[in-house]
Amino acid sequence: MKNYLVTGGAGFIGSNYIQYLLSTKTDVHVVNLDKLTYAGNLENLKPVEKDPRYTFIQGDIGDRALLDSILEQIDIDYVINFAAEAHVDRSILDPEIFIKTNVLGTSVLVDALRAKWTKADGTYMVGKKYVQISSDEVYGSLGPEGDFSEESRMAPRSPYSATKAAAEMLLKAFWHTYRFPMVITRSANNYGPYQFPEKLIPLIIYNARHKKPLPVYGDGQNVRDWLYVGDHCRAIERVVEEGRLGQVYNIGGDNKYTNIEVVKRIVNYLHDHVDEKIDESLITFVEDRKGHDRRYGIDATKIYNELEWKAEVPFEEGLIHTIEWYLKNWEWLEGVTSGEYQSYFKKVYGSR
Ligand code: NAD
């Protein structure tokens, strides 16, 4: 029996991961520690909420007393830290909370674990592992060719990516100084069910169905590597099981598309399957995001060679599955797009 502490498990990737874990393994207990910010939603965990192997605790990864009490009561084997402020546009509007959660919060969490997992002789308890869920954005922007490997230089360019890079630096220092048992994963842009509609794919689905303008930054030519969230969850589990301590693993989908290509694919699918009034005339180019990274690409050879993981969901298939999921779960989408979301949307894109 393994005890997992999943932080940020009520968010997009964390909730997919918890569902994945409980559906693929029997001998696990999962504690989900989540602050429930605007991005945390317990509706994402409806399918597992009654599972006796699942426990939810509302709280902050920066709350040392709470962490100590959880670690005192449960002998945690694995920690997967998803908890973060995770949206670049919000980090441009207000970087402070990103520093608090992504940097300071992570430091409190790993320090609590270091204290708990260190034995009297200064060595670590065997079998403990901490996985930091990081991002390809720590590499900054790529030129027109090539991909980022784990050896590429970190060169974050947004407040969000700077905080993710800072957390990584801290963890690397903990590894070198204390041999803190950690692994870092850097993943590409995720997409799939339960993603908050401030991110491109659910935002476009939501606006298109309401026949609202579809905001696309700049010239729409920014390239992202798209990773289906289910593929990401499988990769994380491989890292938990067999990832080497002190290592960094890139996790990429090998699916590079420009933003405008992604938007057109969604529009055309909805045109053909939902309403022919949804068409490309809804696309509206808006002023570019400040400091917008032009291109990301991930070389995921290392995780393939070491852990035999590769992305399995082709983008065409994953995108259709995702669109269909949002259409079937429209109430979920409407539920998270009230109140705070509307005022945020106005701040970023104006009154469109
Ligand atoms: P998300 O915004 O959907 O979820 C984040 C979750 O963390 C929310 O449930 C929120 O309530 C919780 N949270 C925020 N601050 C907290 C705190 N102080 N204490 C406890 N919980 C807190 O984010 P996501 O898209 O699921 O991303 C999860 C992780 O993966 C993040 O660390 C992000 O940097 C990383 N990541 C995301 C992507 C992507 O494409 N979404 C790509 C690479 C890496």
What tens digit of pLDDT does each residue of 282-296 get? 999 999 999 998 998
Distance 133 CA to ligand 1 centre (A): 9
Q: Residue with the nearest Cα to atom 1 of ligand 1?
A: 11
Q: Is 54 a catalytic residue?
A: no
Protein residue with least CA distance to atom 25, ligand 1: 12
In 3-state terms, what secondary structure has residue 10?
coil
Q: Tens digits of per-residue pLDDT, 226-280? A: 999 999 999 999 999 999 999 999 999 999 999 999 999 999 999 999 999 999 9
Does the active-site annotation cover 225?
A: no
Other beta carbons within 10 Å of 11:
25
Dihedral, CA of residue 350, residue 198, residue 320 and residue 262, to nearest 10: 50
Domain positions in the chain are 2-188+228-253+291-314
DSSP state of 101: I
C-alpha 44/C-alpha 56 separation (Å) is 12
Is 3.40.50.720 the CATH classification of the domain at 2-188+228-253+291-314?
Answer: yes
* For the CA of 60, the nearest atom of ligand 1: 19
pLDDT single digits (tens) 109-164: 999 999 999 999 989 999 999 999 999 999 999 988 889 999 999 999 999 999 99
User: How many Å apart are CA 167 and CA 123, to the nearest integer?
Assistant: 23
Specify whether 160 is catalytic.
Answer: yes
Helices and strands (H and E) in the chain: how many? 13, 12
ipTM: 0.99
| Secondary structure class of 116 (helix, strand, coil) | helix
Exposed/middle/buried for residue 246 (C-beta within 10 Å: 0-12, 13-18, 19+): middle
Alpha-carbon span 249 to 149, nearest angstrom: 9
Q: How many CA atoms lie within 13 A of 85 on its CB side?
A: 25
- The angle subtended at Cα 185 by Cα 70 and Cα 130, nearest 5°, is 25
Residues having CB within 6 Å of any atom of ligand 1: 7-8, 10-14, 34-37, 39-40, 60-62, 82-86, 101, 105, 133, 135, 164, 187, 189-190, 196
On whether the pTM is more than 0.90, the answer is: yes
Best mutation site among 6, 35, 195 for ligand 1 pocket (most ligand atoms within 8 Å of CB): 35
